[in-house]
C-alpha cells in the first residue's frame, strides 16, 4: 500500500509529543486504517443513503413517471401492513429459535467431541461439513430429499404423508438453518472447552466435585465468552437469512414463512414498489441498529476491546 507514504512529513511531527514517541503522528498511524474504512463506507453507506432517499418517494418501477415525493406516506403504509408485522415476528422467531437451538445442539456435540476416542478426527470432520455445504445446496436438498411429502426421507422414517413445507413451513426452514449453523456453534464452543485450563478441572475433581457441578460452576462460566460470541455471530447471519426461505418455501404458504429480508425482496423485485420496500429497509436498519447497539456494547465488554488501545 502506498498510502502510508501519502501523509507528508511536516515540521510539527518532529516535535516531541506523547504519541510521537511511539512512532509517527496520529494521522500517520491512522493511515493504514483508512483504505479499509473508506472502502466499507463507500460500499455499504452510500447505497443505504440512497435507500433513505427512495423511501420518501412513491415509485412503482413498472409504472414509469410514477416517481414523486410523498413524505412519510410509505412509512405509514408499512406500519399499517399486517404482513410486515407478520414478517417481523417471523424474523424474530427464526433468529431467536435458530440461535438458541443450534447453540444447545452445538454445546452437546462439543461436549461429546471434547474427549479422546476412536475416530475423533473423522467425527469432527463429519460434523463441520454442513457448515461447508453451500446454504443453497443445503436448502434445496432438505426441500427435496428430506421434506418431500411423497419420496422424502422424513416421511419414510416417521411414516405418514406430512407435507412438511406447507404444514410447518417456518419450522422446516428453521430445521435447515439450525442444521447449517450447529457445526459453527460446535466448533466455537469446542475451542472454548479446549481453552479451559486443565489444572482447574483437575483441582475440582480432586475436591470431589461431581461432573455436573464441575460443568455448571467451572466450565460454563469459562465458556460464557465463547457462547456470547457464538450467539452474536450466529444472530448477525441468521437474521439476514434469505437463501433458505427463497429456495425452500418462497415465504409461503401465504406468508407463513416470510421473514423481513424475503418480504422486502418480494416487494422490491416482484411487486416493484421501490418506495415501500425502501421504507421497510430503513425501518429494518433502524431496528437492527437499536438491537445492535446493545449487542455491540455487550461484545465490547466481553472482549475488552479498549484493552488494545490503552
Distances (CA, A) of 248 to 6, 74, 92, 110: 51, 30, 19, 29
Give the separation between CA 220 and CA 214, rounded to whole angstroms.
Answer: 9
The string of DSSP codes covering 22-82 is TTS-HHHHHGGGHHHHHHHIIIIIHHHHHHHHHTTEE-BTTSTT--EE-TTHHHHHHHH-H
Contact with another protein (CB under 8 A) among 88, 92, 163, 209: 163
Nearest-approach distance from CB 79 to another protein, in angstroms: 14
- Residues in region 265-294 near another protein by CB under 8 A: 265-274, 277-278, 281-282, 284-285, 288-289, 291-292
Give the separation between CA 11 and CA 27, rounded to whole angstroms.
Answer: 14
Contact with another protein (CB under 8 A) among 75, 84, 179, 181: 179
Distances (CA, A) of 182 to 26, 90, 190: 43, 20, 12
Rank residues 185 and 204 by Cβ distance to another protein and give the closer one: 185
- Residues in region 15-34 near another protein by CB under 8 A: 19, 22-27, 29-34
Nearest-approach distance from CB 80 to another protein, in angstroms: 9
Contact with another protein (CB under 8 A) among 112, 201, 209, 218: 112
- Residues in region 187-246 near another protein by CB under 8 A: 187-188, 190-192, 195, 225-226, 229, 236, 239-240, 242-243, 246
Question: Which backbone phi and psi does 118 adopt, to 5 degrees?
Answer: -65, 125
Nearest-approach distance from CB 150 to another protein, in angstroms: 7
Cell of 274: 421501490
**Residue 273 DSSP SS3:** strand
Residue recorded with cell 504519541: 19
Nearest-approach distance from CB 138 to another protein, in angstroms: 8
Rank residues 116 and 206 by Cβ distance to another protein and give the closer one: 116
Of 94-102, 117-125, 200-208, 209-217: span binding another protein (CB under 8 A) = 117-125
| 97 lines the binding site for another protein (CB under 8 A) | no
- Residues in region 39-68 near another protein by CB under 8 A: 39-40, 42-48, 50-51, 54, 60-64
Amino acid at each position: 500500500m502506498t498510502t502510508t507514504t501519502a501523509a507528508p512529513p511536516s515540521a510539527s511531527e518532529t516535535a516531541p509529543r506523547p504519541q510521537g514517541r511511539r512512532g509517527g503522528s496520529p494521522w500517520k498511524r491512522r493511515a493504514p486504517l483508512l483504505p479499509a474504512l473508506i472502502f466499507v463506507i463507500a460500499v455499504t453507506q452510500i447505497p443505504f443513503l440512497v435507500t433513505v432517499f427512495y423511501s420518501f418517494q412513491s415509485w412503482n418501477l413498472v409504472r414509469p413517471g410514477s416517481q414523486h415525493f410523498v413524505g412519510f406516506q410509505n412509512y405509514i403504509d408499512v406500519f399499517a401492513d399486517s404482513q410486515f408485522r407478520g414478517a417481523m415476528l417471523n424474523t424474530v422467531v427464526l433468529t431467536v429459535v435458530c440461535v438458541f437451538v443450534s447453540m444447545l445442539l452445538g454445546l452437546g456435540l462439543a461436549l461429546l467431541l471434547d474427549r479422546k476416542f476412536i475416530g475423533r478426527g473423522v467425527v469432527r470432520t463429519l460434523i463441520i461439513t454442513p457448515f461447508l455445504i453451500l446454504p443453497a445446496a443445503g436448502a434445496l436438498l432438505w426441500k427435496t430429499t428430506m421434506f418431500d411429502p411423497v419420496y422424502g426421507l422424513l416421511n419414510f422414517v416417521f411414516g405418514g404423508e406430512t407435507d412438511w413445507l406447507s404444514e410447518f413451513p417456518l419450522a422446516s426452514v428453521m430445521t435447515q438453518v439450525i442444521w447449517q449453523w450447529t457445526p459453527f456453534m460446535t466448533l466455537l464452543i469446542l475451542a472454548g472447552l479446549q481453552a479451559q485450563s486443565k489444572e482447574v478441572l483437575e483441582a475440582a475433581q480432586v475436591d470431589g466435585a461431581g461432573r455436573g457441578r464441575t460443568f455448571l460452576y467451572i466450565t460454563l462460566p469459562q465458556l460464557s465468552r465463547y457462547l456470547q460470541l457464538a450467539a452474536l455471530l450466529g444472530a448477525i447471519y441468521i437474521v439476514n437469512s434469505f437463501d433458505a426461505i427463497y429456495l425452500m418455501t418462497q415465504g409461503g404458504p401465504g406468508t407463513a414463512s416470510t421473514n423481513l429480508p424475503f418480504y422486502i425482496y418480494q416487494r422490491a423485485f416482484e411487486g416493484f414498489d421501490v418506495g415501500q420496500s425502501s421504507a421497510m429497509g430503513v425501518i429494518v436498519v433502524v431496528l437492527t441498529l437499536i438491537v445492535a447497539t446493545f449487542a455491540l456494547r455487550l461484545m465490547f465488554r466481553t472482549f475488552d476491546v479498549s484493552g488494545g488501545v490503552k
